[in-house]
Structure 1
Amino acid sequence: MLTRRNEKNGDSLSILGFGCMRFPMKGSSIDEERSIAMIRDSIDKGVNYFDTAYFYHNGKSESLLGEALSGGYREKVKIATKLPPFMVSKLEGAKKIFGTQLRKLQTDYIDYYLLHMLPDKTTFDRMVSIGVISWLEELKRNGIIKNLGFSFHGGKADFVELIEAYPWDFCQIQYNYLDENKQATKSGLQLAHSLGIPVIVMEPLRGGKLVTNLPDEVLAEFRKYDNKRTPAEWALRWIWNHPEVNVILSGMSDEEQLAENIRIASDAEANSLSDEELQVFERVKTIMQERTKIPCTACGYCMPCPSGVNIPGCFAAYNNKYLLKDKNSRFKYMQTLGVVSKKPAFASLCTECGKCEKHCPQKIEIRKELKTVKKEMEGVFYKLAVNITRKFIKIK
């Protein structure tokens, strides 16, 4: 297992991190015996970074990880878990969540603690105003948390604001060959690195979509170069080729996936892909772009929208539904654009002012396309569902 050094604190982190959101299942419950065996096997083979969260597996992920790390394994690894700002309206709520997390994880400290799905600086400022950040800093001074960071699923402009707003110990972003110019983007990755902020990458396979839902033309391009290398290996090697990336998180749900990822992580050095291999990715991305419904590059020139619409985010969610046949696309759309941000940012908020279209380099008829997104992604009771969910998830 290769490692990369966290230059900020000296930690030697396995380049493969175990994402604890997709444990093997037995019916509707976690297959605890298999999951614990996989976790311990991965540690024995060099994995030392485990990422979980308060509500993964309906709140059971942290408990499972805590059990798996009992009996001497805890001291061998780094635990990352998360505080969900969208569930916190008062400091007491954050303290309640954190206490529950320590109990579930059977530990008295957290190595890497994140603000979960921090969407924008406004939400960060709210965490500051209710005392959450100063409390987390106190926990850090007392050694109860070792590193403070955030995970991110927004647009480039918001990422830049957030990364420059606070002396973060690390950050976690979605990054893969399909999302190179989306969300935090490659320039965001490079900015974090230039600021000395370690980067953890999530969704390297887009929840498996870059393995099981690829167009036949893409698979043909990969096979033309190397008939034995799987789509998963292509995708992981592309990310590990970036020296700015410290750890890739993979949610491994069976022993075969674990074995393959550990094998790849044994020799996936930074800057190791050849020019020929990089050209394969360029051809693949061209194929993907040609199959994309709306030719948005997420450049952000259309932003900010006066009505609060996250235009690139809306288009990305719509494109993913068709490009990768994502069955959960509507749920993800509601989650990221309706529920967890400070303010909703979905397509139907558009007032058709037209300001965005004047700045779009791709000359997209944005108002027309947002109507299409609304029709495909929202439904009759969408706004009601968003409002109810936003109220429901708040912890007083």
Structure 2
Amino acid sequence: MESEGKSSQMKYRNDRKGNNISILGYGCMRFTRKGSSIDLDKAEKEIMAAIDSGINYYDTAYVYPGSETALGEIIKRNNCRDKIFIATKLPHFMVKAKKDLEKYFNEQLKRLQTDYVDYYLIHMLTDVQTWNRLVGFGLMEWLKEKVDKGQIRNIGFSYHGNTETFLQLLEVYDWDFCQIQYNYLDEHSQAGKRGLQAASKKGIPVIIMEPLRGGRLVNLLPEKAKNIIKENSRKRTPAEWSFRWLWNQPEVTCVLSGMNSLEMLRENIEVAKNVDIDEFTKEDFELIEQVKKEINSNIKVGCTGCGYCMPCPKGVDIPGTFHSYNLMYSENKKSGRHNYLMCTAIRKNPSSASQCVECGKCEQHCPQHIEIRKELKKASKELETPVYKIAKTAIKLFKRL
């Protein structure tokens, strides 16, 4: 359900417990830095302007350098804890025993200068095996204890990975909310639209991260795509199209934006105040498809991310591999390789393309008739660089330790 606040025009959508969450959330990962530290005075101006405009959801994490501390200091200075929801994340990859759960959480409360967290996420939960490892440490009992004491109000997880694994993770716990990477270019990759709708069907609010792909859907658009947007009669910016595409969907609860200037903040707020669910026309969707076509004009593999090729007997993330491979050419090599590392190596069981044994099972089910085995070899050659292999080994050793 969507509603408008009484003191502002910001719009809100409800979580499972009836809380009104602003449809525009503040991502605190990208606070402006001054030297090695966050520019606290600048961040304070931006945060307070956001609060005054009706934004009430603020997302940070233990591993965002200085972010929790900065947010906590700003809240203390302005005595505004009761005006906002704080979302932060457990660095589960640093947890080796139950005592670590308490250690990191208490440190987060201290940084944030609060005695409770509104929305607490398992940060970058990768797969069911990782969840089971945490359960073995006593995570379930620990979470219940924190909820019973009122120290955690809502429990969720953030996710980077493929759709099938996301669907599995939805079933392992009675989640209060979740957070996924989702935008018009990732409509059928990552958790994707299937994941978004599956979560919504279970009554789980969905928080969106990377709505602009780290700014790529604004700053790195092909010239033809920029012209399609520029020549459209609605005269919307690339960012506005991206946000409106998301807010058009009733399953989207809140869209995070790393707003590190007052100008960016005001522009996004103005859009958020003037959107409606299901407002897109046929022509609007056609524009998005035209823009996607231009972005994808240089892709290597015509994979739609449907997932019919999965599961792979050897655990290869086939759609994720092709998505990363295509990113190398639709965006840049660094982006594609980073995405590949996130989706295949930072997991309990790696899902690299090089694990393919060419059984051919996947090709029997591909509606696009892609020569998957052949393309996986090409993708592996470009994605699994020496840097990737070193990182993968380091992650494996870290997990063992």
Q: 2:18 aligns with which of 6, 10, 14?
A: 10
> What SS does the aligned partner of 1:21 have?
helix
Alignment-derived partner of residue 302 in structure 1: 309
> What SS does the aligned partner of 1:69 have?
helix
TM-score (norm 2): 0.92
> What SS does the aligned partner of 2:118 have?
strand
Q: Is 1:43 the counterpart of 2:51 in the alignment?
A: yes
**Contact preservation (8 Å) 2:120, 2:154:** yes
Larger relative contact order (Cα-Cα within 8 Å, sequence gap ≥ 6): 1
Q: 2:339 aligns with which of 311, 317, 332?
A: 332
Deviations 1:345-377 (A, max 9, x none): 122222223222222221222222222222222
Aligned runs of 1:1-396 on 2, under 5 Å? 1-57=9-65, 60-70=66-76, 71-226=78-233, 228-325=235-332, 327-339=334-346, 341-392=347-398
Mark the runs of 5 or more structure 2 residues left unpaired by the alignment: 1-8
> Letter of the aligned partner of 1:156 in structure 2?
T
CA 1:196/1:307 → structure 2, altered by over 3 Å: closer, same or farther?
same
Shift of residue 232 of structure 1?
0.3
Query: How large is the Cα RMSD of the aligned pairs?
Result: 1.9
Shift of residue 39 of structure 1?
1.0
Using the TM superposition, name which of 374-383 and 200-209 deviates more. Answer: 374-383
> What SS does the aligned partner of 1:200 have?
strand
CA 1:27/1:227 → structure 2, altered by over 3 Å: closer, same or farther?
farther
Shift of residue 98 of structure 1?
0.9
Shift of residue 393 of structure 1?
6.7
Q: Distance in 2 between matches of 1:269 and 1:162?
A: 30
Shift of residue 323 of structure 1?
0.6
Deviations 1:293-351 (A, max 9, x none): 21111111221222222111111112112212363432332233212x11111222222
Alignment-derived partner of residue 5 in structure 2: none
Mark the runs of 5 or more structure 1 residues left unpaired by the alignment: none
Q: Distance in 2 between matches of 1:178 and 1:192?
A: 20
Using the TM superposition, name which of 118-127 and 280-289 deviates more. Answer: 280-289
CA 1:390/1:259 → structure 2, altered by over 3 Å: closer, same or farther?
farther
Deviations 1:268-306 (A, max 9, x none): 121122232122112223333443221111111221222
TM-score (norm 1): 0.93
Q: Distance in 2 between matches of 1:29 and 1:279?
A: 44
> Letter of the aligned partner of 1:125 in structure 2?
N
**Contact preservation (8 Å) 2:181, 2:190:** yes
Q: Distance in 1 between matches of 2:188 and 2:342?
A: 21
Q: Distance in 1 between matches of 2:52 and 2:387?
A: 49
Q: Percent identity?
A: 51
CA 1:178/1:375 → structure 2, altered by over 3 Å: closer, same or farther?
same
